[in-house]
Structure 1
Amino acid sequence: MNRMILAKLEQSFLPILLKVGENKRLIAIRNGITLTIPFTIVGSIFLIIGNLPINAWTDFIEPISAQLNAPVSVTFGVLGLVSAIGIGYNMGKEFEVDPISNTVITTIAFLLATLTDEFAINIDSLGATGMFTAIIVSLFTTEVFRFFVSKNIVIKMPDGVPPSVAQSFSSLIPAGAIIATIWVIRVLMGVDVNEVIQFIFKPLVFGLSTLPGLMVYTLLVCFLWSCGIHGDNVLSGIASPIFLGYLAANTLAFQKGQPIPYEIADGFWILFMCLGGTGSTLGLVLAMLRSRSKMYRSLGKMALPSAIFCINEPVIFGFPIVMNPIMMIPFVATPMILGTATFLLMKIGLVGKIVFQVPWTIPPIIGPYLATNGSVGAAIWSACTIVIAYLIYLPFFKMAEKKQVLLEAGESEQEAMAEIAQTVES
């Protein structure tokens, strides 16, 4: 029955989600956004150093606090610009137009699209608020560039001209068309492109800041993983710019000493909902360590080191969780329960909100403590989530363990399943 339900879901939703995951534009957006990760982490390190929750340290560095905050302002203040560069380059690679030319044209077009009403570069739009504009501009730039190249509407230089010079001239007509179009929209027509795009994406941005939106996202990601597809990668092209924008807003508010606006920000998913990897499979790994089954005990020992650093492919494909209707239940339910509880605890102030970005491979307890600027509540709750994940997985694991023990004792799979069914009925 469970397999029939899973098969129905696969037939209904999997083809749609696969098309989303294989879309070249979303792949380019996802890969382009990752270019921001080193800068947000470096900026967060400076922010942590400048705001360690130790009074003696705070007093000591007070004379140079402005200097320490300078890298933070620069790294978080240009997330939109860095996104335009990263997405422009990856769009060029995906659609086989010159990546460097596509990157430069995208960057110039982005700056032109986000000018102020006085036609000066808008510093505010270079940050997270300009990320969606960067996405739209890079899409427009690549499509126009592709059109001109495919129709051979380019300047061709004679043989013998250096390739770099030839490429520059071949980009001249597409670049002129792209820049002229955006100039007409922003300068002549006076349309605030950034404001319009923000308005269009507002429902999606608002949705992922809410608990229901997070639950839908969790369900989709975990469902894809249950079918053997990297759910995080498939949906990150849509979700990452939004979560990163929340993080930038939280970081800015923290710098200014204002209330932190968002419970859900970049890091919330990985630090509080994915202990040991998507599905919070660290709980399953801990259950396997004391298993009566030799196979599960060995798998648990093998998977533990990687699970500590949030890598769980050995469990997902080795247990397996993929195409396993029984284990799909805790795999989906655990992050949903942990996400809901964390959201509510942040709402009431028992757990600090995320203001720094830390590497996604950082272990539990340490990661939440650092990301929330030393929130003791976050560290304690992180330890509690490990126990909760273990308790949720335990009854489902015991069912799988009993079958495996019987198989290891020499019984056939049919006999083992019959014995388990009899135990469940009684």
Structure 2
Amino acid sequence: MIKFIENKLVPILIKIGENKILVAVRNGITLTLPFTISGSLFLILANLPIPGWSDFLGPFADKLSAPVAVTFGAIGIISAIGISYNLAKQYKLDAITCSAITMVVFLLAQLDQEYTLNVDNLGAAGLFSAIILSIITVHIIKFFISRNIVIKLPEGVPPAVAQSFAGLVPAAVAIVLIWFIRVLLNFDINAFFTWLLSPLVMGLGTLPGMLILIFLISILWCCGIHGDNVLSGITSPIFLKYIAENTQAYLNHQPIPHITADGFYIVFMCLGGTGATLGLVISMLRSKSKLYKSVGELSLPSAIFCINEPVIFGFPIVFNPIMMIPFTITPMILCTLTYALMYFNIIGRPVLQIPWTMPPIFAAYFVTGGNIPAVIWSVCTIVISVFVFLPFFKMAEKKQLEKEEAESRENLEPVLNSEI
């Protein structure tokens, strides 16, 4: 089984993760983080779970929430700029020119029936069209630039002016293409791309879809590959769309629509990092093995902030058949239980985007907008991770203790012989 995963499954996933387009999508989407996290801070301040806080703010609450509409309401256009910029850099094109053309193309695609800009599509509703239009636009530019089908100006013209004219032909072609489709044919590009990606969106919104994702991420990590990065080019846009829609519903005091929004996986399944290895770190702190105890002490500070490379490569978990089991099943157990609790509205769902390095418990409080049952559950997830990892850790500890005792005897024998 391990050989099949290592030789057949992992190479396929690595190729997917190294694809230039998916890398550009992953890196481009991260451009939205400063804006969505900043918007979340305003939303937190406007909705602090303190008795009488809403009455205290009064009409000022709406003013305090205003940046949310600008930050979460612009993630589509921000993503279009970020993705096109990163993809252009990989193709060694002028990134600023590509981003500017993509932005115009994206805005053109968001015209309504009266040919005015539909601002609602600049946010989460337009995220998928932003991704695909970015890719298409950059490839149109690449086609013309690589074949030297550009307007060339005489020598002596300032480079900035020459560069702007070099992008004229591909810009005109891209704009005419989208104008023809959206305006003349009256084809809703945004709705089409949303429909096209709906199976993937629906899949990651379900418990089976999340379990498959967690399994693949865990397997990649067990082979020494950053599983989260490999698959984030596919998953990040979907989770970002979910959290933006959840934030909007939370702002409007409506039922929260999505469970698996951004924060669901990171906050409740990645305690101490991927694989919920905080339970393993806590187990190591009480270990009788000198090696494991020192690894636990060194790993704890980073584990608190959800960074667990010291554990994965220091324990190690990589290519360790014993520890691969809890590393994989712990987040899957937590995923199942957390999904059930959110499905039945026992704990709050993710409504705010937070930094992924925020420590557990605090992260659960902020990501759910101050939901206390979610905080209590976050404590429980730490306990569960300890109990799942503990029996497997004890097996590894037993072998390590035997090894340390054998080494101790070997080091002691020369001393005893010299005394005799």
TM-score under structure 1 normalisation? 0.94
2:23 equivalent among 18, 22, 27: 27
> Match of 1:177, SS?
helix
Within a 5 Å distance, the mapping from 1:325-364 to structure 2 comes to: 325-364=321-360
Q: Could you tell me how far 1:323 is from its partner in structure 2?
A: 1.1
Q: Could you tell me how far 1:358 is from its partner in structure 2?
A: 1.2
Q: Could you tell me how far 1:63 is from its partner in structure 2?
A: 2.2
1:178 paired to 2:174 = yes
1:382 paired to 2:378 = yes
Q: For 2:395 and 2:132, how far apart are their aligned partners in 1?
A: 49
Q: For 1:201 and 1:302, how far apart are their aligned partners in 2?
A: 43
TM-score under structure 2 normalisation? 0.96
Q: For 1:222 and 1:107, how far apart are their aligned partners in 2?
A: 36
Q: For 1:122 and 1:84, how far apart are their aligned partners in 2?
A: 16
2:7 equivalent among 11, 16, 22: 11
Instruction: Give the equivalent residue in structure 2 for 1:132.
Output: 128
Q: For 2:185 and 2:352, how far apart are their aligned partners in 1?
A: 39
1:241 paired to 2:251 = no
1:168 equivalent among 154, 157, 164: 164
More deviation in 279-288 or 60-69?
Answer: 60-69
> Match of 1:159, SS?
coil
| Deviation digits for residues 232-289 of structure 1 (CA, Å, limit 9, x no counterpart) | 1111111011011111111111111111111110011110000000000000000100
Q: Could you tell me how far 1:56 is from its partner in structure 2?
A: 2.1
Q: For 1:323 and 1:160, how far apart are their aligned partners in 2?
A: 60
| Deviation digits for residues 276-327 of structure 1 (CA, Å, limit 9, x no counterpart) | 0000000000010011110100000000000000000000111111111211
Q: For 2:120 and 2:54, how far apart are their aligned partners in 1?
A: 29
Instruction: Give the equivalent residue in structure 1 for 2:246.
Output: 250
Instruction: Give the equivalent residue in structure 2 for 1:106.
Output: 102
Q: For 1:314 and 1:111, how far apart are their aligned partners in 2?
A: 45
| Deviation digits for residues 47-67 of structure 1 (CA, Å, limit 9, x no counterpart) | 000001112222111120111
Q: For 2:301 and 2:121, how far apart are their aligned partners in 1?
A: 42
Q: For 2:173 and 2:319, how far apart are their aligned partners in 1?
A: 50
Q: Could you tell me how far 1:221 is from its partner in structure 2?
A: 0.7
Q: For 1:386 and 1:373, how far apart are their aligned partners in 2?
A: 20
1:391 paired to 2:382 = no
Instruction: Give the equivalent residue in structure 1 for 2:298.
Output: 302
2:68 equivalent among 56, 60, 72: 72
Instruction: Give the equivalent residue in structure 1 for 2:151.
Output: 155
5+ residue gaps, structure 2, are: 409-420
Aligned residue identity for 1:295: L
Q: Could you tell me how far 1:411 is from its partner in structure 2?
A: 5.9
> Match of 1:410, SS?
helix
> Match of 2:346, SS?
coil
Aligned residue identity for 2:314: G
Within a 5 Å distance, the mapping from 1:283-294 to structure 2 comes to: 283-294=279-290
Within a 5 Å distance, the mapping from 1:365-380 to structure 2 comes to: 365-380=361-376
Q: For 1:174 and 1:347, how far apart are their aligned partners in 2?
A: 48
Instruction: Give the equivalent residue in structure 2 for 1:317.
Output: 313
Q: Could you tell me how far 1:137 is from its partner in structure 2?
A: 0.4
RMSD of aligned C-alpha atoms? 1.0
Q: For 1:328 and 1:203, how far apart are their aligned partners in 2?
A: 30
Q: Could you tell me how far 1:46 is from its partner in structure 2?
A: 0.3
- Counting matched residue pairs gives 408
Instruction: Give the equivalent residue in structure 2 for 1:219.
Output: 215
Instruction: Give the equivalent residue in structure 2 for 1:403.
Output: 399
Q: Could you tell me how far 1:94 is from its partner in structure 2?
A: 1.1
5+ residue gaps, structure 1, are: 413-426
Q: For 1:209 and 1:389, how far apart are their aligned partners in 2?
A: 24
Q: For 2:223 and 2:155, how far apart are their aligned partners in 1?
A: 52
Aligned residue identity for 1:316: I
Within a 5 Å distance, the mapping from 1:55-66 to structure 2 comes to: 55-66=51-62
| Deviation digits for residues 202-254 of structure 1 (CA, Å, limit 9, x no counterpart) | 11111101000100111111111111111111111110110111111111111
Within a 5 Å distance, the mapping from 1:86-101 to structure 2 comes to: 86-101=82-97
1:280 paired to 2:276 = yes
Instruction: Give the equivalent residue in structure 1 for 2:264.
Output: 268
Q: For 1:63 and 1:177, how far apart are their aligned partners in 2?
A: 48
Q: For 1:211 and 1:309, how far apart are their aligned partners in 2?
A: 26
Q: Could you tell me how far 1:159 is from its partner in structure 2?
A: 1.9
Q: For 1:62 and 1:246, how far apart are their aligned partners in 2?
A: 29
Runs of 4+ in 1 over 3 A off after TM superposition: none
Aligned residue identity for 2:173: A
Aligned residue identity for 2:305: F
Q: Could you tell me how far 1:31 is from its partner in structure 2?
A: 0.2
| Deviation digits for residues 21-50 of structure 1 (CA, Å, limit 9, x no counterpart) | 110100000000000011110000000000
